[in-house]
Amino acid sequence: MKRLATTQRIIFALLGMSISILLWLSNHWDSAVIALPPPEDIPEEILRTEIIIDARSPIDGQPVTAAEYIELQAQLQKAPPPELNTKLRQTIFLLRIRKALQKLFPFLGF
């Protein structure tokens, strides 16, 4: 009888500690989730007002002014770059397939 009472006290104490720990953890889980900036904080994208006036040529990467860049874009839209030879395009296609296969099967040694 005394042994049963002692076992019940131990079980009751473990149950009480378990519930206390679970309640403590559940209270702290909510505070860990709050990771957003405060609503009055203005995002950097809005604060950044610098107007970019420098550009690079899409052809050779040389620096150009904004007006030259717009002119170059208009020229590229009117006359797209010439197409490659079909044999050369086929070779490039096969090289890309070979590169993909080398990533999948590096032990084959293509």
In sequence order, the 6+-apart residues with CB closer than 8 A to the CB of 55 are 63, 64, 65, 66, 68, 69
CA-CA distance, 73 to 33, in Å (whole number)?
47
Q: Is the pTM of this model over 0.85?
A: no
Count of other CB atoms within 10 angstroms of residue 72: 15
- Domain span at 73: 49-79
Q: Which of 48, 87, 51, 55 is nearest to 72 (CA)?
A: 55
Same-domain status, 9 and 22: yes
Q: What is the pLDDT along the chain (110 residues), one digit of tens a residue?
A: 677 778 888 888 888 888 888 887 777 665 555 677 788 888 888 778 766 677 888 888 888 888 888 898 888 888 776 778 889 999 999 999 999 999 888 887 76
Residue 20 lies in a domain: yes
CA-CA distance, 106 to 99, in Å (whole number)?
10
Residue 38 lies in a domain: no
What residues does 64 pair with on adjacent strands? 55
Same-domain status, 73 and 94: no
Cα 40 to chain center, whole Å?
A: 26
Count the domains in the chain.
3
Same-domain status, 2 and 26: yes
Residue 89 lies in a domain: yes
In sequence order, the 6+-apart residues with CB closer than 8 A to the CB of 18 are none
